Amino acid sequence: MPIRLHDSLTRELRELRPSPDGVFRFYNCGPTVYAPAHIGNFRTFVVNDVIRRLLELEFGADKVRHVRNLTDVDDRTIGQSQKEKRPLAEITKTWTELFHADCAALNCLPPHVEPTATGHIREQVDMIECLMEKGNAYRAPDGSVYFKIASFPGYGALSRIKERELKVTTSAFDADHKDDLGDFALWKAHKPEEDGDVQWPGPSGAAAGRPGWHIECSAMIKKHLGETIDLHTGGVDLLFPHHENEIAQSQCCNGTIFARHWYHSEHLLVDGTTMSKSKGNYYTLGDLVAKGYSPMAVRLALLMGHPRKQLNFTLDSLHAAESALASLRAHRASLAAAGAAHDAFASVLAMLQDDLNTPGALGALFTIINRKEGEPDAASFDRVMFALGLDLHQPAAPKATVPTEITALAEKRWAAKQAKDFAAADGLRKELTAAGWAMLDGKDGYKLEPLKK
């Protein structure tokens, strides 16, 4: 069954098809590594991970080539480096490592190539020179290089912006160097007071400096995937100007279609509004793990909304996800290794293949589980878990360290219970509860867990 996915350019559902050589080329815009990624960022990466998994199931793991970049030089990374007075590479290394750890915890398959902007300066400079030679870019008085959007008739096709609605902002100081306010930077001339020692030799005729943001994706895609790719994705916020600019750069330089399919996932809202530190609703994966939630529950919660709809994320939804995961684990344990119905969960995959309807897929999944019809086999179930990227082996929550006084209370209660002094046992349970601990009795022993709020 083909995978159908909304295409942001044509705004319709279109089938995903590999390149003529049978390889599917997939590029997903990655993070800027200057701070911990938040769960809104991870919504996009988890959604893209599901796309990656569906592609592997559809075309074969060896036929999918997935590239996701790391933006390790831009205003924010440099700003952070200046602020902390640490070298840029040190800053970006720190946050790249955390990003990788978070991705692994969320069970995201690593991309086949994860190129960095600083590792591809040469490729970016080459592309800028190509654009200058073709008349699509020009050198500004300060030595920066800008892309001339008037030179590309197709500009605005993706975002449907025909004439730029200019919004007066004081931060548009770069406008002084541009021919047109819509033009965007391909290369930014070095500014010692802002950039510190971050600079490279520029394109021929330009000043030393660093690449503009958009050019890295165009250059790295060309190097690692070629001039035309099969799918390009990112968050909706990248639609304009980032992806619009990528199209302009790549198509003007290469003279051929850049991406045959575009897909943008919507934003995550928290408590009905955008995340921000001042509102106190800004979460990183680490924040949620510290609250006792498992990364797998975070992943499930991020998939509970349709990827092209804003998702209202709440701590309650994490609760729901944690419970739902427990059901899935229980169900998996009850499945026979080889049941009769080897395609029992096909409808779940069908939902995913129909424009990545993750909530619909989860609904179909639980419906099948609840009906208990036939004898679903483990392989079919596991295939669905693979597609969703749900690792059921992961513990529900990290082990908490039990304070010695709690252990002592528990021991006393266990002894009282063994002596059938239930009144004393109940009293001790109350004390434990008051202290925030749950004592789970087993046949031959007990477990202690922090009470869920």
Number of residues that bind RNA (CB under 7 A): 86
428 token code pair: 């001790």
What is the β-pairing status of strands 64-68 and 437-441? unpaired
Minimum separation from the CB atom of position 26 to RNA (A): 15
User: What is the signed CA dihedral for 48, 50, 52, 55, rounded to 10 degrees?
Assistant: -130
What is the β-pairing status of strands 231-235 and 262-265? parallel
Q: Does 285 bind RNA (CB under 7 A)?
A: no
Q: Which one, of 72, 67, 53, lies nearest residue 383 by Cα?
A: 53
Minimum separation from the CB atom of position 279 to RNA (A): 10
Q: Does 232 bind RNA (CB under 7 A)?
A: no
Q: Which one, of 113, 116, 144, 115, lies nearest residue 128 by Cα?
A: 144
Segment 356 to 375, residues that bind RNA, using CB under 7 A: 357, 359-360, 362-367, 370, 372
* CA dist 128 → 111, 213, 257, 288 (Å): 26, 12, 18, 42
Q: Does 418 bind RNA (CB under 7 A)?
A: no
Minimum separation from the CB atom of position 310 to RNA (A): 5
Q: Are 156 and 162 in contact (CB under 8 A)?
A: yes
Q: Which one, of 117, 150, 108, lies nearest residue 32 by Cα?
A: 117
Taking CB under 7 A as the criterion, the residue among 5, 16, 29, 145 binding RNA is 29
Minimum separation from the CB atom of position 453 to RNA (A): 12
Minimum separation from the CB atom of position 21 to RNA (A): 28
Q: Are 223 and 120 in contact (CB under 8 A)?
A: yes
Output 238 or 285, the one with its CB closest to RNA: 238
Q: Does 66 bind RNA (CB under 7 A)?
A: no
101 token code pair: 């750890």
> Whole-angstrom Cα distance, residue 57 to residue 74?
36
Output 59 or 184, the one with its CB closest to RNA: 184
Taking CB under 7 A as the criterion, the residue among 32, 69, 81, 107 binding RNA is 32
Segment 237 to 266, residues that bind RNA, using CB under 7 A: 237-242, 265-266
Minimum separation from the CB atom of position 203 to RNA (A): 16
Segment 305 to 334, residues that bind RNA, using CB under 7 A: 305-306, 309-312, 314, 316-317, 319-321, 323-324, 326-327, 330-331
User: What is the signed CA dihedral for 307, 310, 312, 313, rounded to 10 degrees?
Assistant: 50
Q: Binding segment for RNA among 113-121, 198-206, 271-279, 383-391 (CB under 7 A)?
A: 271-279
What is the β-pairing status of strands 24-28 and 184-189? unpaired
Q: Binding segment for RNA among 248-256, 269-277, 289-297, 335-343 (CB under 7 A)?
A: 269-277
Residue 187 is classified by DSSP as E
| Per-residue burial over 245-264, b = 16 or more CB atoms within 10 Å of its CB, e = otherwise | bbbbbbbbbbeeebbbbbbb
> Whole-angstrom Cα distance, residue 104 to residue 33?
16
Output 230 or 355, the one with its CB closest to RNA: 355
Segment 97 to 156, residues that bind RNA, using CB under 7 A: none
Minimum separation from the CB atom of position 362 to RNA (A): 6
25 token code pair: 């080329």
Output 51 or 59, the one with its CB closest to RNA: 51
Q: Does 439 bind RNA (CB under 7 A)?
A: yes
Output 326 or 400, the one with its CB closest to RNA: 326
